[in-house]
Amino acid sequence: KGDLFTLIHKRPDFEINTNLVIKWSREICSALDYLHNSAPQKIIHADLKSPNVLVFLFLFIIILNSIDH
C-alpha cells in the first residue's frame, strides 16, 4: 500500500508489468470520469500526479486531491 510515485521510483523490488499499467490507467480514467461527469457534485481534479494516486494491495487505485494529505 502506498502512493504510485513511491511504488514506481522507490520500490525496486516491485516489478510493474504492462497488464498492471493498463489496469491502473483504466481505474484512474474511470475515477476521473466519475468525478467530472457523474458525481453528485462535479469535481475537476486540478492536481493529478503520482503522489496523489494511492495503490492498495497492488489491486486498486484511489485518487486523492491535494487537500486530503
pLDDT digits 0-9 by tens, 22-66: 988 998 899 889 988 998 988 888 888 989 888 886 666 666 665
**If we measure between CA atoms, which residue out of 34, 28, 29 comes closest to residue 53?**
28
pTM, whole model, 2 decimals?
0.74
**The predicted structure's pLDDT at residue 59:** 66
**The predicted structure's pLDDT at residue 65:** 66
**The predicted structure's pLDDT at residue 13:** 83
**The predicted structure's pLDDT at residue 3:** 86
**The predicted structure's pLDDT at residue 18:** 92
